[in-house]
């Protein structure tokens, strides 16, 4: 075995030069082949492709049309705010914004706006656009209230693109019916809350008239000791012993009972006079109410609902004040029904192990 290994050829050292595997970076080209090469046009695949500038700055986004509209609206909003700042109308304090006339916008829904943009419009993007439109509409109301009609008329065509086509019909249906006044100047309204319903009559307070009637000295006054003087002048006249409630400027009669006697709770009385306080007409009307059904809380809410409608009938200028206070709309909350197996609507019986 060892003899066979000795007879074999010894191994050569790895002296292979790396030059044997190297190749020339530029192959040899005969000079005759290079004639007129510089004048020849380059191959088409070496020619650099010329890129055109996109028309839209949102070209590389996933929703170019949407972001283009949003960019234009934000730019218009910025210009309007800059113009209002020049007129010293922006930013407004909170009390000044609250006194602006109410907004009457009716935006298109998300499905309707989807037709303006290719692809579906997500809820987040829809809310973002509606927020910009609401701010733009508020700038228009500020300009209109301040008397700058030119700026308000410039904003209106932009808002009209995103409003419903049947806006006028929808807003006409939401207009509250006018409450007529009778020949005595009284208004009749109906208020409801829970299971209670109240009928309200309101009449403006009139200054008492004190006519000066001269008294004749020859008029005979019957003496109290005269037994022949009739006690009852008319059989249909009210009894003199019956209690008479004096109607003053602050009297509110409920079922022919004064307010402070009908409702013992202060919260119920405050709820009734709240529409009069907000409108600034406390003491300017005499209120007569007939209420039926429900408990004290429901009856107080029903009377307040009817009084708010009556105040608007007499003073239409306070409509938006009472509407913001949510006094002109019936409170839809009702008592939740009792469930089978429960003590009340949500209350459960005490769990007993045995």
Contact call for residues 127 and 80 (beta carbons, < 8 A): no
pTM of the shown model:
0.55
- The pLDDT profile of the chain, 354 residues, written as one tens digit per residue, is 455 555 555 555 545 554 555 555 667 777 766 666 666 666 666 566 777 888 888 888 888 889 999 999 999 999 999 999 999 998 888 888 888 888 888 899 998 888 888 878 899 999 999 999 999 999 999 999 999 999 999 999 999 999 988 888 887 776 777 888 998 899 999 999 999 999 999 999 876 666 555 544 444 444 444 444 444 455 455 555 545 545 454 589 999 999 999 999 999 999 999 999 999 998 889 999 999 999 999 999 999 999 999 999 999 999 989 998 999 999 999 999 999 999 999 999 999 987
Task: Report the first-to-last Cα separation within the chain, whole angstroms.
Answer: 97
* pLDDT score for 224: 45
Say how far apart CA 135 and CA 81 lie, in whole Å. Answer: 10
List the Cα angle 225/226/232 in 5-degree steps. Answer: 110
* pLDDT score for 100: 86
Say how far apart CA 51 and CA 58 lie, in whole Å. Answer: 16
* pLDDT score for 283: 86
* pLDDT score for 218: 47
């Amino acid at each position: 075995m060892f003899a066979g290994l000795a007879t074999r050829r010894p191994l050569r050292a790895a002296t292979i030069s790396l030059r044997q595997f190297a190749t020339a970076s530029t192959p040899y080209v005969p000079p005759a082949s290079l004639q007129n090469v510089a004048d020849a046009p380059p191959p088409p695949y070496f020619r650099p492709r010329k890129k055109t500038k996109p028309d839209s700055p949102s070209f590389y986004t996933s929703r170019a049309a949407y972001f283009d509209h949003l960019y234009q609206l934000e730019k218009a909003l910025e210009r309007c705010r800059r113009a209002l700042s020049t007129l010293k109308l922006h930013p407004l304090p909170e009390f000044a914004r609250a006194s602006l006339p109410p907004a009457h916008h009716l935006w298109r829904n998300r499905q309707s706006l989807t037709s303006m943009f290719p692809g579906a419009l997500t809820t987040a993007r829809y809310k973002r656009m509606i927020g910009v439109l609401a701010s733009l509409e508020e700038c228009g109301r500020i300009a209109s209230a301040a008397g700058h009609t030119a700026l308000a008329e410039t904003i209106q065509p932009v808002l009209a693109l995103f409003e419903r086509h049947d806006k006028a019909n929808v807003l006409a249906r939401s207009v509250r019916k006018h409450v007529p006044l009778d020949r005595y100047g009284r208004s009749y309204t109906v208020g409801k809350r829970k299971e209670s319903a109240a009928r309200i009559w309101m009449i403006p307070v009139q200054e008492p008239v004190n006519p000066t009637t001269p008294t004749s000295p020859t008029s005979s006054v019957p003496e109290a000791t005269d037994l022949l003087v009739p006690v009852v002048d008319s059989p249909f006249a009210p009894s003199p012993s019956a209690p008479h409630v004096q109607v003053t400027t602050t009297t509110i009669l409920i079922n022919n009972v004064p307010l402070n006697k009908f409702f013992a709770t202060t919260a119920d009385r405050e709820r009734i006079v709240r529409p009069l306080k907000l409108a600034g007409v406390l003491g300017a009307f005499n209120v007569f109410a007939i209420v039926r059904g429900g408990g004290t809380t429901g009856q107080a809410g029903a009377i307040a609902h009817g009084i708010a409608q009556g105040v608007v009938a007499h003073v239409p200028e306070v409509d938006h004040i009472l509407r913001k206070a949510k006094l002109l709309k019936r409170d839809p909350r009702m008592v939740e029904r009792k469930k089978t197996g429960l003590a009340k609507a949500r209350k459960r019986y005490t769990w007993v192990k045995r």
